[in-house]
Amino acid sequence: MKETVKIKSKKLNVFYGEKKALSNINLEIPERKVTSLIGPSGCGKSTFLRCLNRMNDSIEICKVEGQIFVDEQNIYEKNLDPVLLRARIGMVFQKPNPFPKSIFENVAYGPKIHGLANSGDELNNLVEVSLKKAGLYDEVKDRIDEPGTSLSGGQQQRLCIARAIAVSPEVILMDEPCSALDPIATAKIEELIDELSKNYTIVIVTHSMQQAARVSNQTAFFHMGSLIEVGKTEDVFSMPKEKKTQDYITGKIG
Amino acid sequence: MGFWSFLIIFCFLSFYIHWYGTTKALKINEDITKGSKLPSLPSYYGTYSLLWLLLPSSIILICWFFFKPYIIDIFLKESIPLNLVDNFKGNPSMLIDTIKATNPEKIFPGTNPLIIDSAAYYQTLTTNSDSYVFLLVLVVGLISSLVSLRKVSTFFRARQAVEKANINLLIFCSVIAIITTIGIVFSLIFEAVRFFERVPFFDFLFGLAWSPQTAIREDQIASQGSFGAIPIFTGTLLITLVAMAVAIPVGLLSAIYLAEYARPTVRKTFKPILEILAGVPTVVYGFFAAITVGPFLKDFVSSLGLSMASESALAAGGVMGIMIIPFISSLSDDVITSVPTSLRDGSYAMGATKSETIKKVILPAALPGIVGAILLAISRAIGETMIVVMAAGIAANLTANPLEAVTTVTVQIVTLLVGDQEFDSAKTLAAFALGITLFFVTLLLNLYALKIVQKYRERYE
């Protein structure tokens, strides 16, 4: 099957002040597949992820050069509104960050600000569907008005995923979504990622190579701000082309 | 022995004792050829004996400070010749006061020579007794520290003892603050109880008229005062409301600007400038309100066709609001900045704009802290005195119109206590009743504010 490319970066350079965080990244991310970004700490993988929905805009000293195309549209074009972009590209963070509101309000937040539901019933329905997609509905359906912060860590993270899904994004970015979770909660999130990849393009940053191997179709290895190698996950892990990749996955660097 | 020579000797003695204790411990350490040395460092032994110098000395000095007048009075009373007591017209305690007030070197012509003699005796008594006490302090301190030095041995752990003394010092200092508060409350309560013996409690708390007059003569006409606190508490409430109507929006919005929109350089210059407002003495705000804002508002309001008193709740409350702005803005700014970045990121990542994020995520998350800041500001406004004394007037009108003159609890306390007072009239004692009521109101507000702030802290930390 021919893969369609959802996101494509061209000659992407990112600077934090004087420091160059990413240099000349050319990466294609296929649609409705899971792409994992691996590499040692500080290699720029999270920076790359945050470029994809322009979250780096809020960091004043951050400067981005080059182009990123989402569906053939350059998102660093001058007149592109990052607010609309972020509605299309959802994000889940390292630490679960539910808003200090009820579970319902957390999920309803996005639809409300984007005016996606015309009536209360529609909103209820949307929240329910999103929670179901995130595999959380059965656990919280009786306490949907309790604060989101009262949930366990893994449930909070799935709540954040439900919140992201609620605005029907095309892409979901995940920045080490399991690093604050225990193995059981991690397994649940990984199952969920697998399930979600049928409908969404997912880009996940992870420190765990096992996780990358388990959940992703494509793996990109970053080192010192450069993209070293990208390819099918099985290929990258079983027969890496680059020596650095081999060193990293066998634990010699990192 | 004068005070300064005492101080010099005492300092010298302290150094010496510390040095001696340390040296003694060092020597013992040297003498121990085998087995373990002293259990603590040598300087701890010096500090320990120094503490035994300081402790008894300070106890004696503090006791002397408190009991000196009584002891000297006893001596003075015994020394007064009997015929002087018999010839003096008036109370014996007045005689003592007369003697104390007489300066034997500069005498009014015609003063009784016996009084002059007693006054001279009183002066020598005062200086001599000080000398004796200083000498006593030195002797007792020296003895107790020397006794403590005998304890220096391998069985004595000086470090633990010194650290225990340190802890006790810390406890003592924190108890002082608490004791002072309790003292204030009790001094208020005692006088307030005397007030409530004259005026019924509920007449005070729920009375609608405030005119603190008491009869000088029993048969005086129209002399009965009324002590209903409602008008002055509503006055306080009215001024506080005006102040909050100014301070809350301005303070909160400037806090939002500073915390969320201002560039770091702007924030760095703006915040200190706002905080300068908090450093302006309230009396300066007071005449600003009375001289500048009051007349300006009066002209403005009369140009609208309304009438306004020259001393008004609006002017006083408005200026008080300006004074409180830095309170609210600075505290709210801290609270808003401490909302975790992850929440902001979460909201931006959903495609929310900055203002949506502030309205729907940051402010709700910071709300408990902001409410705490506002409650603290309110108790500040209720207790504020100087501005209202100068700009709000003293007429106790029961009104909700901010254009009229009103008075506040603090203003009434000031006016009741300024000037010559007799402490057996309800008029003077009313000040204490007002004081204790105000104290409880602000205490409750502060407790509530602290509780809210605490709740907020638990959520993120």
Q: Which domain does B272 fall in, by range?
A: 226-460
The mean pLDDT of chain B is: 86
> How is residue A236 written in tokens?
């990258």
| Least confident span in B41-50, B100-109, B340-349 | B100-109
3 state SS for B329-362: HHHHHHHHHCCCHHHHHHHHHCCCCHHHHHHHHH
B441 inside domain: yes
The answer to whether residue A97 neighbours chain B at the CB level (below 8 Å) is: yes
B380 inside domain: yes
Spans of chain A below 70 pLDDT: 1-2, 254
From B258's Cα to the closest Cα of chain A, the distance in A is 16
From B360's Cα to the closest Cα of chain A, the distance in A is 9
- The pLDDT, as a whole number, for residue B219 is 64
Residue of A nearest to B363 (CA): A100
- The pLDDT, as a whole number, for residue A231 is 93
Rounded to whole angstroms, the Cα distance separating B54 from B49 reads 9
Closest CB to A109 among B342, B360, B365: B360
Q: Among B156, B185, B218, identify where a domain stops.
A: B156
The answer to whether residue A162 neighbours chain B at the CB level (below 8 Å) is: no
Tens digits of residue pLDDT in B356-394? 999 999 998 888 888 888 988 998 898 888 888 888 877
Q: Do residue B144 and residue B285 come from a single domain?
A: no
- The pLDDT, as a whole number, for residue B416 is 86
Domain count along chain B: 2
Q: Do residue B415 and residue B324 come from a single domain?
A: yes
Q: Which of residues 212-251 of A touch B (CB under 8 A)?
A: none
From A138's Cα to the closest Cα of chain B, the distance in A is 24
The answer to whether residue A127 neighbours chain B at the CB level (below 8 Å) is: no
> What helix, strand, coil percent values describe chain B, rounded to 5?
75, 0, 25
Q: Which H helix or E strand runs over B68?
A: helix B42-79
Closest CB to B342 among A97, A113, A167: A97
Residues of chain B above pLDDT 90, percent:
29
Tens digits of residue pLDDT in B109-163? 777 777 888 888 888 888 888 889 999 999 999 999 989 888 888 788 888 989 9
Q: Is residue B188 within 8 Å of B435, Cβ to Cβ?
A: yes
pLDDT exceeds cutoff 90 at B244: yes
- The pLDDT, as a whole number, for residue B31 is 83
Chain B residues within 8 A of A85 when measuring between CB atoms: 351
- Mean per-residue pLDDT, B267-294: 87
Residue of A nearest to B261 (CA): A58
Rounded to whole angstroms, the Cα distance separating A20 from A225 reads 8
> Does B351 sit within 8 Å of A84, measured CB to CB?
yes
- The pLDDT, as a whole number, for residue A2 is 60
- The pLDDT, as a whole number, for residue B461 is 42
The residue ranking higher by pLDDT, B452 or B304, is B304
- Mean per-residue pLDDT, B234-245: 92
Instruction: Please state the domain extents for chain A.
Output: 5-249
- The pLDDT, as a whole number, for residue B365 is 87
B208 inside domain: no
The answer to whether residue A179 neighbours chain B at the CB level (below 8 Å) is: no
- Mean per-residue pLDDT, B173-184: 93
> Does A91 sit within 8 Å of B349, measured CB to CB?
yes
Tens digits of residue pLDDT in B82-122? 777 777 777 777 778 888 888 877 777 777 777 888 888 88
Closest CB to A86 among B340, B350, B364: B350
Question: How far from A176 is each of A162, A186, A209, A232, CA to CA, in Å?
Answer: 17, 11, 12, 20
The residue ranking higher by pLDDT, B382 or B454, is B382
Q: Is residue B251 within 8 Å of B324, Cβ to Cβ?
A: yes
Q: Do residue B358 and residue B439 come from a single domain?
A: yes
For an interface test with A, the pick among B348, B350, B359, B458 (most A C-beta atoms closer than 10 Å) comes out as B350
pLDDT exceeds cutoff 90 at B424: no
Chain A residues within 8 A of B342 when measuring between CB atoms: 93, 95, 97
Residues of chain B above pLDDT 70, percent:
96
pLDDT exceeds cutoff 70 at B58: yes
| Least confident span in A208-212, B258-262, B304-308, B418-422 | B418-422
- The pLDDT, as a whole number, for residue B224 is 65
B196 inside domain: no
Q: Do residue B249 and residue B136 come from a single domain?
A: no
For an interface test with B, the pick among A75, A86, A149 (most B C-beta atoms closer than 10 Å) comes out as A86
Q: Among B126, B156, B186, identify where a domain stops.
A: B156
Q: Among B100, B131, B156, identify where a domain stops.
A: B156
- Mean per-residue pLDDT, B419-425: 74
The answer to whether residue B341 neighbours chain A at the CB level (below 8 Å) is: no
> For domain A5-249, which architecture applies?
3-Layer(aba) Sandwich (3.40)
> Does A100 sit within 8 Å of B342, measured CB to CB?
no
The answer to whether residue B217 neighbours chain A at the CB level (below 8 Å) is: no
pLDDT exceeds cutoff 70 at B456: no
- The pLDDT, as a whole number, for residue A3 is 77
- The pLDDT, as a whole number, for residue B457 is 61
Any idea how long chain B is?
461
pLDDT exceeds cutoff 90 at B8: yes
The answer to whether residue B362 neighbours chain A at the CB level (below 8 Å) is: no
If pLDDT is split at 50, 70 and 90, which confidence band does B216 have?
low
B21 inside domain: yes
Q: Do residue B234 and residue B132 come from a single domain?
A: no
Q: Do residue B52 and residue B152 come from a single domain?
A: yes
pLDDT exceeds cutoff 50 at B304: yes
Q: Which H helix or E strand runs over A254?
A: none
The answer to whether residue A167 neighbours chain B at the CB level (below 8 Å) is: yes
If pLDDT is split at 50, 70 and 90, which confidence band does B428 have?
confident
- The pLDDT, as a whole number, for residue B332 is 92
Contact residues for A103 (Cβ-Cβ < 8 A; gap 6+): A131, A140, A143, A144, A145, A146, A147, A148, A151, A159
Q: In 10 A of CB A125, how many CB atoms?
A: 12
